[in-house]
């Protein structure tokens, strides 16, 4: 089972790395990080680079595709013809096509979410709807046929755990869960927009809007 | 506030990337990924590379240090004189010295945990004790003075959230939490070794022991 994580400049690392750390423990699985060409891809911090291990051309038939979001890279990725046309080309033969956070907007840009119930980061729900998907703002994971979308960033961890259960059953999911000791004990209960004050939510919304304006860094410093 | 994430071959990516995705949203913070030299560092999957953005030499006085664990890289890191001597050199002037998962063994190898209460991945608690630390196997986060250690892999996310609260107060932690929508809803409840059957735990222990035998990949394929 080949699992392809799409990487692009300005992506959010945890969107991909959370699911990767679970999915890679599945039996007979091969993980790869894919982009137009191999080599470093700088994420939305402008500092952290992840390496693309394989090109789109070398990855014509992945079983699972995961598209991460990115605070300042999503729009460019939506307009990246190589990325979007690869998604369109491989989707018909995937077992699962998935996204985390604003990665759903990239699936939508590829035309894969027309009329499809889906979720995304809370800040992107409205635009997801405007692109023809049916937003499910209160859902952390939304499955629609073989498409599965997750809410913001850390929701990808829950998505991956759920996906392992779908593919290999609960025992394999539990093995993966205890391997990464995913027994969450957040010291605050502020992970959903409904759980924070409107003022705090507006502050975060303003920060995210400002972050989105920064041009993605397109080459590593080394 | 300079935050240095140590990277080394055979490390577990999520140990660092989980905390990074929270800590980097702190005001006036600068994140960097440090190793003996800059460039790609291949993680314990043998496929994913993270880029070291800065060298140890260029990072003489970080405010926060985080040392990740690694399924097949920990032992080599414990014996990596450049890494361990850098930890020893910077620790006296850090505000916080932290680890996730088997990263605690690397702090111990640097001599920083003698007689110090600490935690690590459930599979490493015994060896942590044999190195002179005081294991706290039932704790997800252990703080001892300015040293803070987290349990396995995903526990680093809780550690980082807690740390933001310590540094900037609860509101800043909540901003970071809602930004990454960290409202965990794992579909299974098997994240702690006490929550799975002994048979399943032994299977995971055997897998981790086999993983630990694989030599770390030391250079990226590209």
pTM: 0.98
Contact B187 A173 (CB under 8 A): yes
Return per-residue pLDDT of chain A as tens, 222 residues. Answer: 999 999 999 999 999 999 999 999 999 999 999 999 999 999 999 999 999 999 999 999 999 999 999 999 999 999 999 999 999 999 999 999 999 999 999 999 999 999 999 999 999 999 999 999 999 999 999 999 999 999 999 999 999 999 999 999 999 999 999 999 999 999 999 999 999 999 999 999 999 999 999 999 999 988
The closest CB to that of A187, out of B21, B158, B221, belongs to B158
| Mutation site for B-interface testing, chosen from A25, A158, A187, A218 by largest number of B Cβ within 10 Å | A187
Residues 65-104 (B) with a CB less than 8 A from some CB of A: 101
- Beta-strand pair B49-52/B39-42: antiparallel
From chain B, the residues in CB contact with A11 under 8 A are none
Size of interface A-B (CB pairs under 8 A): 241
pLDDT tens across A119-165, in order? 999 999 999 999 999 999 999 999 999 999 999 999 999 999 999 99
CA of A158, closest CA in chain B: separation in Å?
A: 5
Domain ranges of chain B: 2-212
- Measure Cα distances from B160 to A34, A129, B155, B182, B183 in Å: 29, 33, 9, 12, 15
What tokens does B146 get? Answer: 């300015």
From chain A, the residues in CB contact with B21 under 8 A are 12-14, 153-154
Q: DSSP characters for A62-114?
A: -SEEEE---TTTHHHHHT-HHHHHHHHHHGGG-SEEEEETTHHHHHHHTT--T
Catalytic residues of B: 101
A45 touches chain B (CB under 8 A): yes
- Measure Cα distances from A40 to A35, A49, A52, B53, B101 in Å: 10, 6, 6, 11, 26
Q: Is the dihedral of CA A131, A135, A141, A143 positive or negative?
A: negative
Contact B50 A49 (CB under 8 A): yes
CA proximity to A17, closest of A105, A124, A73, A100: A100
B29: nearest CA partner in chain A: A45
From chain B, the residues in CB contact with A208 under 8 A are 179
Residues 111-150 (B) with a CB less than 8 A from some CB of A: 121-122, 140-141
Structural element, H or E, at residue B31: strand B30-35
CA of A102, closest CA in chain B: separation in Å?
A: 11
| Cα of B132 vs its chain's centroid, Å | 19
What CATH architecture does domain A2-212 belong to?
3-Layer(aba) Sandwich (3.40)
Side-chain-side CA neighbours of residue A52 (13 Å): 24
Q: DSSP characters for B131-144?
A: TT-EE-TT-SEEEE
Distance CA A7, CA A52 (A): 7
Residue B76's contacts (CB-CB under 8 Å, 6 or more residues apart) are B8, B9, B10, B216
pLDDT tens across B179-219, in order? 999 999 999 999 999 999 999 999 999 999 999 999 999 99
């Amino acid at each position: 089972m080949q699992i392809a994580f799409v990487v692009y400049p300005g992506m959010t690392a945890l969107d991909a790395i959370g699911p990767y750390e679970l999915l890679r423990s599945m039996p007979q699985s091969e993980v790869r990080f894919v982009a137009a060409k191999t080599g470093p891809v700088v994420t939305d911090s402008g500092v952290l680079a992840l390496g693309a291990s394989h090109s789109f051309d070398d990855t014509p038939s992945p079983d699972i595709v995961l598209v991460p979001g990115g605070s300042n890279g999503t729009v460019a990725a939506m307009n990246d013809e190589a990325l979007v046309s690869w998604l369109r080309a491989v989707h018909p033969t995937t077992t699962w096509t998935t996204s985390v956070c604003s990665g759903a907007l990239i699936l939508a840009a590829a035309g894969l979410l027309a009329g499809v119930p889906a979720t995304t980061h809370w800040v992107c729900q409205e635009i997801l709807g405007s692109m023809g998907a049916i937003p499910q703002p209160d859902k952390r994971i939304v499955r629609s046929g073989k498409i599965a979308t997750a809410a913001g960033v850390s929701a990808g961890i829950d998505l991956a755990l759920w996906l392992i259960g779908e593919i290999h059953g609960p025992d394999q999911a539990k093995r993966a869960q205890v391997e990464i000791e995913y027994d969450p004990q957040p010291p605050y209960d502020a992970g959903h927009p409904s759980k924070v004050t409107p003022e705090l939510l507006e502050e975060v919304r303003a920060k995210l809007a400002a972050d989105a304006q920064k041009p993605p860094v397109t080459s590593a410093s080394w």
